[in-house]
Copies of this chain bind each other. A is one copy, B any other.
């Protein structure tokens, strides 16, 4: 079927390729003219036959909200917009209502798979009305992995549910990654285990901890056995924060996911104000030595 695709970045570019391989007619738009099939959003829409389906794959937050607003002025009654980005689920209700007021349809779709999706397919979690999901099913089927549909695709609820499910998916991902990471550090710290990469590689088959993330860790260790080409500095892109916020909203204990989130925050601090306070307190009550701040802070000198 025909699809407009807004946003041809790391994700959208690959998705266009996968869709085309499956025989779909994709008209992509991106501000980068080298990647774009259209000169403007308006141009892209003009190249699509009604009823149109447009997939939005731009950064979450204001860029997505603005794209949806612009599309709402360009599209015609009955056209369908699918937000496949990492929007917060709270944006979906507003988007759906705004589009609905103009007779337009809306689906939100959580997409997982990263740069590997082109080859492996993307896990898809969709929110919205049943008839809209069915209408876009050929697209979903082309994007999702080979194998039984229900193992890589689900219509999980009304508008917002797709992004909600993706948010929780990513929250889990934070916890999984941190669990492997703590294990890696513990193996590294041990004198007994002499070959850490071989140990982790041996977990790929048969063990309880085998997973795709473990395979990726093996890949990373293959090229950098001590992971010392990079720094332990980790960004976060929002879903982990939102997951903890939802845990708070629903009074659900989330010690693992929040610990993984906080570990990322801490990884980005050159120095921890909190630990300065603890150091100051120890110095106050026990006369314990503190480390002076300063350019030679790495020297470990005490005063």
Q: Which residues does A use to contact B, with CB under 8 Å?
A: 10, 89, 112-117, 120-125, 127, 144-147, 150-158, 160-161, 164-165, 168-190, 192-195, 198-199, 201-214, 216-217, 219-220, 224, 227-235, 241, 243-248, 250-293, 297-298
Given A243-B186, A276-B230, check contact A281 B248 (CB 8 Å): no
Q: How many copies does the complex hold?
A: 4
Given A121-B205, A173-B209, A246-B190, check contact A277 B156 (CB 8 Å): no
Partner of A179, one of B181, B257, B263, B269: B257
* A231→B121 contact, CB < 8 A: no
* B213→A212 contact, CB < 8 A: no
Given A116-B285, A144-B205, A267-B272, check contact A210 B175 (CB 8 Å): no
Which residue of chain B has its CB nearest to the CB of A223?
Answer: B280
B residues less than 8 Å from A168 (CB atoms):
183, 186-187, 190, 193
* A277→B227 contact, CB < 8 A: yes
Chain A contact surface mostly:
helix
* A120→B206 contact, CB < 8 A: yes
What is the distance, in angstroms, from A144's C-beta to the closest C-beta of chain B? 6
* B231→A293 contact, CB < 8 A: yes
* B194→A157 contact, CB < 8 A: yes
Question: What 9 new A-B contacts, CB under 8 Å, besides A184-B274, A234-B282?
Answer: A144-B206, A155-B195, A157-B192, A172-B183, A179-B260, A186-B243, A207-B212, A228-B293, A235-B289
Given A164-B193, A256-B260, check contact A231 B297 (CB 8 Å): yes
Which residue of chain B has its CB nearest to the CB of A253?
Answer: B262
Which residue of chain B has its CB nearest to the CB of A179?
Answer: B175
Which residue of chain B has its CB nearest to the CB of A202?
Answer: B154
Which residue of chain B has its CB nearest to the CB of A221?
Answer: B280
* B192→A182 contact, CB < 8 A: no
Given A202-B153, A205-B147, A212-B208, check contact A231 B169 (CB 8 Å): no
Given A175-B182, A262-B254, check contact A202 B274 (CB 8 Å): no
